[in-house]
Amino acid sequence: MNIEEAIEKEHLKKITPDRELMKKELEEAKYDLKKAKETLEKKDYKWSTIQSYYVMFHSAKSFLYSLGYRENTHLGIIIVLEEQSLEGELESRYVNDYKAAKNARENADYNYSYSSEKAKYLVKTAEEFKKRIEEIVKKKEE
């Protein structure tokens, strides 16, 4: 599915790029990253896993706002990330990391399946994802 189809199916909505929402989402990502690290240190692997996904979710929302989209579903975010990867704006690694984090969050939340190794990996991955999205968004603002 491409962005136009995602808009038709209401996974996405076209909006005017919004700098304030971009900043707000990056602040939420920063907060969630801090909490994910704290819960990891406390060996609360379930919540660290969930929070790591939300670091990526809020970072990705910032990216969408910079492009003039608002997500209505988590799938909408994936569609934009995939298209941006195809266009060379975002490395495919980050799309794969986002999908993996989404699956890990769902497994932790709904299937009670999580581990220290997965949580540690996701915190690191979420931090890298957030940093890369911040770089892209900042470049778009210039």
Q: Please give the share of the chain, as a percent, with pLDDT higher than 70.
A: 99
Residue 93: predicted pLDDT: 97
Q: Give Cα 90 distance to the centre of its chain.
A: 13
If one counts the domains in the chain, the total is 1
**Which domain does 45 fall in, by range?**
3-136
The answer to whether position 14 is within a domain reads yes
Q: Is residue 35 part of a domain?
A: yes
- Tell me the average pLDDT across 118-125: 98
Q: What string of DSSP letters covers the chain? A: --HHHHHHTTSEEE----HHHHHHHHHHHHHHHHHHHHHHHTT-HHHHHHHHHHHHHHHHHHHHHHHTEEESSHHHHHHHHHHHHHTTSS-HHHHHHHHHHHHHHHHHHHS----HHHHHHHHHHHHHHHHHHHHHHHHHH-
Count CB neighbours of 107 within 10 A: 15
pTM above 0.85, yes or no: yes
For residue 142, is it within any domain? no
CATH of the domain at 104: 1.20.120.330
Residue 141 scores a pLDDT above 90: no
pLDDT-derived band at 139 (thresholds 50, 70, 90) equals confident
Q: Is residue 141 part of a domain?
A: no
Confidence of residue 64 (pLDDT cuts 50, 70, 90): very high
